[in-house]
Each structure stands twice: as structure tokens, then as C-alpha cells.
Structure 1
Amino acid sequence: MTSVIHGATGAQGSPVLAALTALGKHPIALSRNAAPIEGARSIAADATSAKALTAAYREADSVFVHLPLGSEETRRGIAGAVVEALAEARPGRVVISTSGAIVDAPGTAMQVAPDSALAQLIDGAMKTGIPTAVVAPRLFLENLLLPHVQAGVREEGVLRYPVRPDFAVSWASHLDVADAIVALLHDPTVTGVIGVGHTPPVTGPELAAAFAESLGTPVRFEQVTPAEFGQRIAPLLGEGPAAGVAGLYTALGAEPDFTFSPETGAAARLGVEPRALVAWINGVNS
């Protein structure tokens, strides 16, 4: 099986690529500059070009795609090109990651707009008739590795994050998401939306306790405002994306939790469990 991996050098694509190469597969790494990657064939492609994507997809049995950060206009251009290329090349399998956006809570304030780039991508892929699965994580554990978050944990023993102490989240690591994606790339019989993350969900104090266990020092949880969190990440992401992140956490403040039904999760549908929190922390600290 050969898989095309969009964003192969990025946070979501690179763990998928690594998992496939570890299995002895020979994935096709799709990126802007075709940087060489051991165990994979690198292809440079303009993600807004249906022609370029079609040529790449024709060499593969399956495709993993997720939309990058950027303007919604650019994302719509990518979504349209991907759908057109899928319809033309007809790979045997498509797996899409929502990258944390919500597509499985219709009728709620968190659901993505039907005219969004992500909704366009998912709807278009499904209409091709190609078996399509959508991986739907909530919040990424890697957010807790942001420099200012880790400085608080390690220097002050305080995990600061913009959610209520009792706000339960189905946290997932990029590695957890990659495990689900690889399983789905190999099994086209599983379609629809699959949640990835911890069930039961995890609260802020439980996250702090996991860091404390891993580090061997006391760590407590402290809620900060979305505005404060956005200000701290603006130097890393830019003012626009940081404002979007602050807006997300403001919206989450009105929700009872941020999770999914266990019946729709990767553990139930794929037999893929998320990593234990302490194990994940130990791994990123090793």
C-alpha cells in the first residue's frame, strides 16, 4: 500500500509518515519543497493545483489530507483542488483530519459552518464515492508544550491554560492521531467521523497531576483568560492566528465539555487507544 501524505513535514503529517515508514511502507511525502525524507519519496506540489495533486494521487492507493493554517480563501482553494484531484485520480481510500475543528456536533455553536473550507473538503470527498474517513481530535496535548506553558510548569509548578478547572477535554497527541490515521489508511471499511482522544475526558487538574507524576515535583492547575493566552502566543503564531485561538477558548468557555461519544471514538471503532498522559509526557521529555 502506498499513501500520499499531505503536509508530510508538519506536526500532523510527519508522525503519520514516520509510522508508515516504521511499518516498512513507502509513503509519498507531499510538501511545498520536496525535502528529502528517509524511507519516503518526496514530491513537491502546489496544494491549490488540482493537476499537480492528481498526478501525485495516481501513484497511490490512499491519501491523507488536512488543511493548513491560513486564510479561508486559500484553504477553500486547497479543498477544491483536493476534491477535484480525488475525483480524477480515484485512489482507493481518503482520510481527512479536522485538526481539532468540530464537524460531528450539528446544531451546536462549535460546528464548522457548512460553507467552510473543511466542510467543503469533507463533503466533496464523500461525494466522490471513495471510502472516506474523518479523524476528529479535540485539543492537542502538544499545546501544553508551548514555551510559556512549559515555563510555568517547570519553573513555578503551575500549569496555566485557558479552560475551567472542571472543563473535561478528550485530549489527544499528534501521535495518537497518527495511530488512528495509519489504521484507517489500511482499512477502507471504516468510514465516517472517528473521534480521537481520551475517554473519559481529562480536566486541567488531572493534566497537572500527570505532569507532577512525570517530573517528580508538585504541579497545580491555574486557569488563565483566553485573551491572556492569545497574547502569549501571538509572537509565535502572529496576531491573526493568536486572535483565532483566543476566540476558540472563549467559545469553549460556554460549553459543558469538549469531548465525543465513546462509541464513535478510535478505541471503539479501530481498537486504537490514546497514550496514557504520563507515558506521553515521559516520551516528549526523553
Structure 2
Amino acid sequence: MTSVIHGATGAQGAPVLAALIARGHTPVALSRGGAPIPGARSLAVDASSAEQLTAAYRGADAVFVHLPLGAEDTRLELAHAVIAALTSARPGRVVISTSGAIVDAPGTALQVAPESALATLIAGATASGIPTAVVAPRLFLENLLLPHVQAGVREAGALRYPVRPDFAVSWASHRDVAEVIVALLGDPSVTGVLGVGAVPPVTGPELADAFAAALGRAVVFEPVTPEEFGRQIAPLLGEGPAAGVAGLYSALSVEPDFTFDPATGAEARLGVAPSDLVSWLRAVTAVTPAPDEAGDGAARG
């Protein structure tokens, strides 16, 4: 199977690429620089060029696409280039990640506008007649690894995040999303939108309990305001993207939860379940259970 992976060196593309390589495939890795990646065929591509994308897609069994963060007019340009390339090259399958944007809650304030770049991309890919699946995670667990979030956990035993304590979220890791994408790339019979993440969803205090189990010491949940969270991430993302993140959490503050119908989820439709939260935390934070679990009475993380 030949799969073309957009953003192959990024947070979403890289895990997909790694999972395909681990399964013995030789995927085509698209990136701006075309840096060599062992086990893949790397291509430097201008994603706004329909001609370059068409050449990359031609003869492919499947294509994975997600739109990068950035100005909406730039994202629209990219969406139109991808649609034109799909229509011309006719790969066997396309899988799109929403990257956390909402496309399966019509009638709510969270639903992306029909004229948005993401909605345009999904509509264009679907209209092409190519079997199209849309992977729809909610919040990424990797957000909990941001430096200021980790500092609160490790230095103060407090998981500080901008959601209500009772607000339940279907959290998913990039690895969870990648496993679903890989399954979909090889199965064009599954189309439409698939939710990815924890079922049942997880509240802030339950997240803190998972951190406590992974670190072997007490961790409590402390909500912060979206505005404060935005200020904390501005040095990492820039003022504009940080304001967008703060806006998302402000919008979520009036919602009852942030999840999806389990019947439309990847576990129900594909049999691909999300990772165990405590095991994931232990792996990504490179921590071991506290020594007192082994009987020496001291705690470390």
C-alpha cells in the first residue's frame, strides 16, 4: 500500500508515518523541506501547489491530509489545492483529520462554518467521489505536556487547565489518532466522520488521578481561566494563535461536555480503542511508579 502523508514531520503526520513504517509500508512523506526519513520516500512539496500535489498523489492508494495552523485565507488556499489534486490524481482513498475542530455537531456554536477551510476540504474531497473518512479528535492529550502545565504538576502537585472540574472530554493522544488513521488508510469501506478519544469521557479530577497514578504522588485538579491559559501559551504559539486557543476554551465553558456519540467512534466502527491514560502518561513523561509502591517508603517522579 502506498500512502501519501501530509505534514510528515509534524505532530500529527509523524506518528502516522512511524506506524506505517512499523507495519512494513514505505509511505510518501510530504513536507516543505523534504528531509530524509528512514523507511519513507521523502518529497519536498509546496502544499499550495495543486500541480505538485497532483504529482505526489498520482498512483497512491491513500492520502492523509490535515490543515496546518495559520491564517484562514492561507488554509483555504491549501484546501483548494488539495481538492484539485485529489480530483486530478484520483488516489484510492483520502483520510482527513480535523485536528480538534468540530465538524460533527451541527447546530452548535462549536461547529465550523461551512465556508471554513476545513469544511471546504471535507466537502471537496467527498464530492470527488473518492472514499473519504474524517477523523475527529476533541482535545489532544499532548496539551497536558505543555511546559507550564507540567511545571504545575511536578512542582505544585496541581494539574491546571482551563476547563470546569465537571467538564468531561474525550481526550485522545496523537498516537491514538495515528492508529485510527492507519486503519482507515487501508480500509476504504469506512467513510464519514469518526470520533477518536476516551469513551466514557474524562473530567479534570480524573485526569489528575491519572497523573497521580503515573507519578506516584498526589495531584489535584485546579481550573484556570481561558484568558490565563492563553497568556501562558502565548510565548510558545504567538499572540494570535494563543488568543484562538483561549477563545476555544471560552466557548467550551458553556458546553455540557466535549465528546461524541460512541456509536460513531473509531472503537465502535473500526475496533481501534484509545490508549490507557496512565500507561500513556508513564510512557510520554518517562516516569516510573513511586518507590513506595515497591516498598521503600519514598516518593519520586
TM-score normalised to structure 1 length: 1.00
Aligned residue in 1 for 2:186: 186
Q: Is 1:95 aligned to 2:63, yes or no? A: no
TM superposition shift of 1:59: 3.8
User: Structure 2: how far apart are the matches of 1:272 and 1:143?
Assistant: 22
Q: Report what 1:240 is aligned to.
A: 240
SS at match of 1:126: helix
Shift, 1:223, TM fit = 0.3
Q: Which amino acid aligns with 1:182?
A: V
Aligned to 1:38: 38
Cα separation, 2, equivalents of 1:226 and 1:123: 32
- The amino acid of 2:55's aligned partner reads A
Give the aligned partner of residue 261 of structure 2.
261
The one-letter amino acid of 1:169's match is V
CA distance in 2, matches of 1:47, 1:73: 14
Q: Which residue of 1 aligns with 2:224?
A: 224
- Aligned equivalents of 2:120, 2:110: Cα separation in 1: 17
Q: Distance in 2 between matches of 1:115 and 1:49?
A: 21
Runs ≥4 in structure 1, deviation > 4 angstroms? none
- Give the Cα–Cα distance (whole angstroms) in 2 for the partners of residues 8 and 127 of structure 1: 25
Q: Structure 2 matches for 1:113-128, cutoff 5 A?
A: 113-128=113-128
- Identical pairs, percent: 76
Query: Does residue 175 in structure 1 map to residue 189 in structure 2?
Result: no
Unaligned runs of 5+ in 1: none
Count of paired positions: 286
What do the CA deviations read for 1:162-197 (whole angstroms, capped 9, x no partner)? 000000000000000000000000100000000000
Counterpart secondary structure, 1:250: helix
1:202-255 per-residue CA deviation (whole Å, 9 max, x = no partner) reads: 000000000000100100000000000000000000000000000000000010
For 1:65-80, list aligned pairs within 5 A.
65-80=65-80
In our comparison, the structure showing a higher alpha carbon Rg is 2
Instruction: State the match for 1:199 in structure 2.
Output: 199
- Alignment gaps of 5+ in structure 2: 287-301
Q: Matched residue of 1:244: which SS?
A: helix
2:276 matches 1:276: yes
Paired amino acid for 1:34: G
Q: Which residue of 2 aligns with 1:16?
A: 16
Q: Secondary structure at 2:236's aligned position in 1?
A: helix
Cα RMSD between the aligned structures? Answer: 0.4
Question: Per-residue deviation at 1:283?
Answer: 1.1
Aligned-residue offset at 1:60:
1.4
CA distance in 1, matches of 2:285, 2:137: 23
Q: Which residue of 2 aligns with 1:159?
A: 159
The residue identity in structure 1 corresponding to 2:75 is R
| Structure 1 partner of 2:27 | 27
Match for residue 47 of structure 2?
47
Q: What is the alpha-carbon distance in structure 2 between the residues aligned to residue 74 and residue 209 of structure 1?
A: 41
Aligned-residue offset at 1:259:
0.1
Name the aligned partner's letter for residue 247 of structure 1: G
Residue matched to 1:134: 134
Q: Is the partner of 1:235 in helix, strand or coil?
A: helix
Letter in 1 for 2:102: I
CA distance in 1, matches of 2:59, 2:80: 20
Post-superposition offset of 1:285: 2.0
1:57-98 Cα offsets, whole Å, 9 max, x none, are 004110000000000000000000000000000000000000
